[in-house]
Structure formats: C-alpha cells, structure tokens
A and B are shown apart, each in its own frame.
Chain A
C-alpha cells in the first residue's frame, strides 16, 4: 500500500541502524510517548536494531491503558441500565474494572456493542429512537475531534437519545508530569504522530525550550521510528534541543484548525483527571461544555463515580512511567496475559505489556534481566 510499504524497507532500516550506532556516544534513554510507537517498536523488533546504549522507555500514550478502574466501573454501571445500548471501541471490551469488564456485562444481558466510529454510535441512536445510546469516548486529541464532531452532528440533527461518556485526555499535561517526575531521567522523546496531526508540533516546544530535551514527532512505520530515533540521538550528541518533525507528510506545526475548533466548541478541561498508575493530573481530561449537557452521559445517568485503587499485584503505574519493564512485574505472563489481563497495559495491543507478550524476544528478556 502506498505510504506504507516504502517505509518498511529492511535494507534502509539496516543502514539507518548503523548510522544510529555510529552517532551514539553515551547511554541514552528515549521515551516513545505514544502506544502506537510502542506497538511498532515490538512488532518490527526495532530495539534489536538499536545499539545497547539506547534504552527505549515506553510512555503513557495508550488511552486504554491509562483509563482508571473507577471509570470502567462507571461504564459498566451505565451499560447495565435497562434500555441502554452501550457502544465502545473494541479495545475497551476486555479492560478490567474493579470486579468485571464490559464483555462480562454483555454476557449477563447488557446491550454492549462494538463500533468503529462514534458516527456508527450516532447511527445506532437514530435507528433505535426508543433506546438510550451511550458512546464511551476515550482517546487523546487524535480521537477527541471525532467525538466532538459527532456531538455537533447529533445537535444539528436534534437526536435526543444519544450521549457520550467522556474520558478524553490531553497529551501535554501528561508529558509535563513525566518531565517533572523525579525518578525519571530521560534524554529525549519520540513525539506522538497522530495526536500531532490535530495539535501540530508547536505544543511540544516547551519540552525543548524549558526542559532542554530533544523531541522528534514520528510516523508509525519502522523507518519512521528509526529516523526519529536518529534525529533525537543526533540532537543529543550535538547538544541541541529542538522539536523536529519526522512525520511532515501528515503533521504541520499548527495542526488541523477545524479539528481543534471542534474540540474547543464541545469540550472544556476538567480540573483534574485520574490516570491509571499515574494518579491525578491537573487539566489533563476533557468534559462536555454545559452547552452540550444534553449529550453528557455523566449528567444523564447517575454513575457511582468512585475512585478505585489499582490491584496490588499489578505494576502498570511503574510500567507506564517507564521505571519498570513489563517482565519485571510479578504477574506478567503468568496471572496477567492478553486473554485474562489484570492490568490494562496487557489489554490494548498498544500497551507495553501486551506488546512484549506478543512480540517480545524471549532471549532478549532473559539476557536483559540477567
């Protein structure tokens, strides 16, 4: 496929890896913020190509992995209400709440349906005027404009039985939390690609300016990721800190104006939002503005809204902060697997644990943990 195949050429990857090794003069810790990059790094074995001195730290940019238990419980409580059709992306079905997940709720009779797009959820609402249709909205700025535009469409069409359980989050407050975390020493960032199609590269400039860390906003094919690592290593070696845009074919400095307008029209920041494993982060979540209260599932239905502590056995928090590697978690691959996940990092294919579990080289794990 065009714009994919040409970024997967093994011969070019080998040469790029040689150049990265040549440039790397000291140990470097580079965080890929986005779960899509984590997935690509494991799927294509990119860590095997990198010199020993480079450590990739897998960041918190997987919205499914950071949704707190309490919000999953709230989703299940809405889904179990009589008359409700609860719609969600497939990734969310097996994410564990404190006792059960959405798939279990479906098994005991809740009408839970997987959708590809929030627009599909709106269509279900139009086709079922006697039922309340709720869409579980989650994701970073990549997905938020799609939810916003669906709400705007619902308002235009006068749909009364559609609402959104909003769990959208924003990347910059999370990045800042990472940078301010004392136990995390990073030398640079691979910046999220698809979030940046919406917000542009400008919002990361503080990382270079105020924290002196290099950033390369990256595409998702193996050559994209390798080139971004090359950019970060080169900046670090030359003592520069800038925001470079490796993904120029899709990302501009200012982002997508109409997508941002839709976000600002429909959403406003919450004072705090809880991230699984990371705790509360100020202004990191979005909720619907009061103007669109009619489409806010949190106002339409009573939800328990309880804060639930993560299970003790699970070390998702340390893994999301890159302080621990997945295989260092006691339940990794034994009690916690993609079929029966305990922690959410094992659920989504973009979670660090699931990526290690599915693609991780066992020899590497043995070698590195020795």
Chain B
C-alpha cells in the first residue's frame, strides 16, 4: 500500500498542471508533481513515486552519506574496537 519507487524525471510535460514524465527502470509514465513548488523539481532529479504522485525529491548527498555510514558501521568499528583494546 505505502510502497513507493524511485524514478528519474526525464521531462516536464505540463508545468501548469504539474505533470512530469518519470523513468522507472526503463518504464516511463506521467507523474503528478503538484506536491512541490513550481521549479522545485527539474529534469534529472530523482523522485520517490507513490500512486502516480512524486512524494519527495531524493537527496543524492544524503543517499551517499547513508551508504558511507553503512560501510563505516561494517568496516571501521572493529578497527576502532581493536584500537580501544590496545589502549588498555
């Protein structure tokens, strides 16, 4: 029900009626961008799409930050722990 999928905005079809075209894994469909201020969504942006509406813009910086933290949790913490052990 509450599932949403990321898509890339490839065209602003009708700015006045808030319609953009989004590409989701090669499938293209019109989506409504009325949940954003005018000009807030532009071609090339990634948006999260739910029941035909773009819900939020995907923040690429935040996405990379999450991946960085994920890697860090997996890789660096044992080293930090080892580091702490050597201190004692």
Contacts and interface: CB of A to CB of B under 8 A. Distances in A.
B25 interface: yes
Interface stretch (A243-251, A295-303, A314-322): A243-251
A61 B2 CA distance: 9
B2 A63 contact: yes
Contacts of B48: 194, 197, 250
B6 A146 contact: no
B77 A2 contact: no
B11 interface: no
Contact of A15 (B8, B34, B73): B73
A363 B35 CA distance: 46
Contacts of B73: 15-16, 19, 227, 230
A145 B2 CA distance: 12
Nearest to A224: B66
Contact of A249 (B3, B52, B63): B63
B44 to A, nearest CB: 12
Contacts of A138: 1
Contacts, number: 130
Given A63-B1, A140-B2, A250-B56, A146 B62 contact: no
Question: How extensive is the interface on chain B, given as a class?
Answer: 35 or more
A4 interface: yes
B70 A146 contact: no
Interface in A51-101: 61-64, 89, 91
Contacts of B75: 15
Interface stretch (A116-124, A201-209, A324-332): A116-124
B13 interface: no
A258 B6 contact: no
A248 B65 contact: yes
* Contact residues on A (Cβ < 8 Å of other chain), bracket: 35 or more
A2 to B, nearest CB: 7
Interface string B39-62: 000000010101111011011101
Contact of B3 (A2, A12, A120, A194): A194
Given A35-B2, A149-B35, A119 B52 contact: yes
B56 A251 contact: yes
Given A35-B2, A192-B2, A262-B35, A146 B65 contact: no
Given A120-B52, A142-B55, A249-B59, A16 B70 contact: yes
A34 B2 contact: yes
Contacts of B53: 117, 145-146, 149
Contacts of B59: 248-250
A227 B50 contact: no
A227 B70 contact: yes
A64 B6 contact: no
B64 to A, nearest CB: 9
B37 A258 contact: yes
Interface of B: 1-4, 6, 8, 24-25, 32, 34-37, 46, 48, 50-53, 55-56, 58-60, 62-63, 65-67, 69-71, 73-75, 77
7 contacts: A3-B58, A3-B63, A35-B1, A145-B35, A194-B2, A197-B48, A246-B66
Ordered nearest first, which 3 A-B pairs have the shortest CB separation? Answer: A117-B52, A15-B74, A248-B62
Given A262-B35, A350-B2, 15 more contacts: A2-B8, A6-B67, A35-B1, A91-B1, A120-B52, A138-B1, A142-B4, A143-B2, A223-B70, A246-B66, A249-B60, A249-B62, A251-B56, A259-B35, A350-B1
Interface of A: 1-4, 6-7, 12, 15-16, 18-19, 22, 34-36, 61-64, 89, 91, 116-120, 138-140, 142-143, 145-146, 149, 192, 194-195, 197-198, 219-220, 223-224, 227, 230, 246, 248-251, 256, 258-259, 262, 348, 350
